[in-house]
Amino acid sequence: MVFSAAVLAGGRSRRFGRDKARFVWRGKPLLRHVLDSLVDASERFIVAGRPYPEFGVPVYPDLIPGGDSLSGIHSALHHAGQRVVAVAACDLPNLTPGYWAFLLENLGRAPAVVAFGPEEWPEPLAAVYTKDLLPLAERLLREGDYFIRRLLDEGGARYLSWASVRERFGERVFANVNRPEDLESLSGWA
């Protein structure tokens, strides 16, 4: 399946203490790990409010700022050249091309596919969306409703069980990096 890919790097990294997207772990910046997991996309770009020229892909700002991650998803859907868009946060270094292929295989006719994480809560920043959700995302942003679960539920997203993801990709696939010490817990994982 042909798809676009967007990495969201619009956070302020307050808990991390510096720009975590650029933080080098295992020889490359965290954002590069995520971009590399999306190698099969026909295009890759970053959604952020600051430049990232070292990554060699376009960088777009939020079109409707202030809506947290929903603003990033909205901008990703708007800027994507393809109808199907993989959207990932820049702090998920354990994602793999196989993970994205699994989501794409399960998209079917749904407007989005998202997996549940270990706490049985959806992981919307490691999900696949279609441009069908762009009007709903814009409406929610304009209404000041930034709850991504509403976008998923109202939009008719397909949900995948945590068990199906864990079985294929391990317990740490969604391990994210909010603080430098989070990297220590990842050090034993590929």
Q: Where are the domains of the chain?
A: 4-186
Other beta carbons within 10 Å of 11: 20
Question: What gap in Å lies between CA 20 and CA 26, rounded to an integer?
Answer: 14
Q: What is the pLDDT of residue 187?
A: 46
Q: Is 58 helix (H, G, I), strand (E, B) or coil?
A: coil
Question: What gap in Å lies between CA 64 and CA 113, rounded to an integer?
Answer: 23
Q: What is the pLDDT of residue 11?
A: 56
Over residues 163-188, mean pLDDT: 77
Question: What gap in Å lies between CA 138 and CA 99, rounded to an integer?
Answer: 28
Question: What gap in Å lies between CA 33 and CA 94, rounded to an integer?
Answer: 8
Reply yes or no on whether the pLDDT at 13 is more than 50: no
Q: What is the pLDDT of residue 188?
A: 44
Reply yes or no on whether the pLDDT at 161 is more than 80: yes
Mean pLDDT in the chain?
A: 91
Over residues 143-168, mean pLDDT: 97
Q: What is the pLDDT of residue 185?
A: 60
Residue 143's Cβ-count burial label (10 Å; 0-12, 13-18, 19+) is exposed
Q: What is the pLDDT of residue 20?
A: 82
Q: What is the pLDDT of residue 181?
A: 62
Confidence of residue 24 (pLDDT cuts 50, 70, 90): confident
Reply yes or no on whether the pLDDT at 116 is more than 60: yes
Percentage of residues of the chain with pLDDT beyond 70: 88
Over residues 161-183, mean pLDDT: 83
Q: What is the pLDDT of residue 186?
A: 60
Q: What is the pLDDT of residue 25?
A: 80
Tokens 């549940």 -> residue: 116
Other beta carbons within 10 Å of 156: 13
pTM greater than 0.85 (yes/no): yes
Residues ≥6 apart with Cβ < 8 Å to 45? 4, 5, 6, 7, 57, 58, 59, 60, 76, 79, 80
- From the options 3.30.70.1450, 3.90.550.10, 3.20.20.370, 3.30.110.60, give the CATH code of 4-186: 3.90.550.10
Contact of 130 with 83, CB cutoff 8 Å? yes
